[in-house]
Amino acid sequence: MADPVVSERLPGDVHWYDLPDDEAEPDETPEAPPRARRWTIGGKVRRAVRNSAAILLLLALWEALPRLGVVDRVFVPPLSENLVAWSDLLVSGRLPEHLEASLVRSLAGFGLAIVLAIPLGLLIGWYKPVADFLTPLLELFRNTSAVALLPVFTLILGIGETTKITFVLYACSWPILLNTISGVKTVEPLLIKSARSMGLGPVRLFQKVILPAAVPTIFTGVRLAGAYSILVLLFAEMVGAKAGLGYLILETQSSFRIPDMYAGIITISVLGLLFNLLLVGVERRFSTWRTS
């Protein structure tokens, strides 16, 4: 019977049984010890504080400068007084009423802009004859301020809800439309050539390559439009409106209820921030195909 062959280990040889558990079983990630988890949580807290330091400084200055007499507290009340006014408006029901009116108008115009501008942008970006036909018209209107056209909307549509929603629709359509066109036109040409070499037809090419590659740029336009939907609405609500955050700000300013005016401004700022965070979450949901 032949002697068994014994492999001779050379210096530097590493075998699976020499490795620690985390290297021998790479697919199994052991749970972090409590101390490591505490460090992770502490790092997240420090990062959150660091990222919000500028906002915290602004709020502190807003509270301190009027009380120290650096700015006139009649025109710039301390933050605490504005928050008290905000609380009073909330309890009385006036703030929810104005907020609801603004949200309905803003979301209606914003939603219509998404439904209309994204398909049109895809069409213009993908089909050159359509782009050649519509580009001169787009260049004419893209350089015209939406706020400058508000009197035109008012003259044609009156001062009702249709004017406000249409005005938001017009203002929100441009960032979505232009970013969609740019997203389609700036797709990596190598991706298109590779897809065509694999036999993808125009429809499958658009579905599998063009549209996924354009998603990040499209969502950039959608996020810009989300901010516009709130900002331009304020102008529309200052003309012939009886409810809405824009009306609240104008009415409280004219009656010299300054803390109530700042309460409306704070509400708009928080609303815009939450809206942007929501759109960022939706963008991440639709962009999971990208590698980090």
- 13 belongs to a structural domain: no
pLDDT above 60: residue 99: yes
**Mean pLDDT to the nearest integer, 164-169:** 91
Please tell me whether residues 40 and 154 are part of one structural domain: no
Please tell me whether residues 151 and 44 are part of one structural domain: no
In whole numbers, what is the pLDDT of the chain averaged over residues?
Answer: 81
pLDDT above 50: residue 192: yes
Please tell me whether residues 194 and 104 are part of one structural domain: yes
Please tell me whether residues 39 and 136 are part of one structural domain: no
Please tell me whether residues 136 and 193 are part of one structural domain: yes
- 131 belongs to a structural domain: yes
pLDDT digits (tens, 9 = 90+) for 72-97: 888 999 999 999 999 999 999 899 99
- 277 belongs to a structural domain: yes
pLDDT above 70: residue 35: no
Please tell me whether residues 60 and 160 are part of one structural domain: no
Give the model's confidence band at 195: pLDDT under 50 very low, under 70 low, under 90 confident, else very high: confident
Range of the domain at 50: 31-68
Give the model's confidence band at 284: pLDDT under 50 very low, under 70 low, under 90 confident, else very high: confident
pLDDT digits (tens, 9 = 90+) for 202-261: 777 777 788 888 888 898 899 889 888 888 888 888 877 788 898 899 999 989 999 999
Record the pTM: 0.74
Inter-residue contact 208 to 200 (CB < 8 Å): yes
- 125 belongs to a structural domain: yes
Count of structural domains within the chain: 2
Q: Which two tokens stand for residue 154?
A: 């008012």
Q: Using the 3D structure, point to which of 41, 68, 95 is the last residue of a domain.
A: 68
Please tell me whether residues 58 and 83 are part of one structural domain: no
